[in-house]
Amino acid sequence: MSAYMVNEDTLDLLASVAGWRREGLWVYMSEDILPPRGEIQFERGGNSYKDTASSLIKEELRLENMASLWARYPKDGLNAGGGRAFKRIYADQATIAQALGALSCYEYQACESENWESSFAFALCNAIRKALCDIVASNNWEYERPAGQAERVSLADMMRGSK
């Protein structure tokens, strides 16, 4: 597998999700999660990050992506630099699908470090995914079939004797 440094817009989009919900991002911090690589503050148990933390979230994601590159290409002496300052992307400027795609891309590129699954960035990615799913769900927690909904009959079920 190869790895590369994701672009600034990808990092901006992921970090911007903290401002897309009134609740921000809730990052669960179990005992096996490593401390952040950057300057973002954290406590064991869990942390809530609002849009004011977006630049620190972006930096944390950048540092983990760089750690992945160093793990994958240790002899190349890669230096991704400090990157561009955080530039907010508002919820009406990108779709949930674009944000989920950016998250998948980021995770694929950042997963090469030895401790990826216990990294703070991994916990951030889980929180970003959950926040995006919560936006889609719009507080619809349980499902109830609509009253009077017709029952579908499947030919395969009929042949198996299920119906």
36-69: per-residue pLDDT in tens? 999 999 888 888 999 999 999 999 999 999 999 9
116-160: per-residue pLDDT in tens? 999 999 999 999 999 999 999 987 878 888 898 888 888 888 888
Helices (H), 73-119: 96-110
User: Of 24, 49, 36, 59, whose CA–CA distance to 131 is shortest?
Assistant: 24
User: Of 30, 61, 60, whose CA–CA distance to 46 is shortest?
Assistant: 30
At residue 128, φ and ψ (nearest 5 deg) are -65, -45
The answer to whether 68 touches 113, Cβ cutoff 8 Å, is yes
What is the overall mean pLDDT for the chain? 91
This prediction has a pTM of: 0.84
Per-residue model confidence (pLDDT) at position 79: 67
Per-residue model confidence (pLDDT) at position 43: 86
Q: Which of 27-36, 40-49, 92-101 has the highest mean pLDDT?
A: 92-101
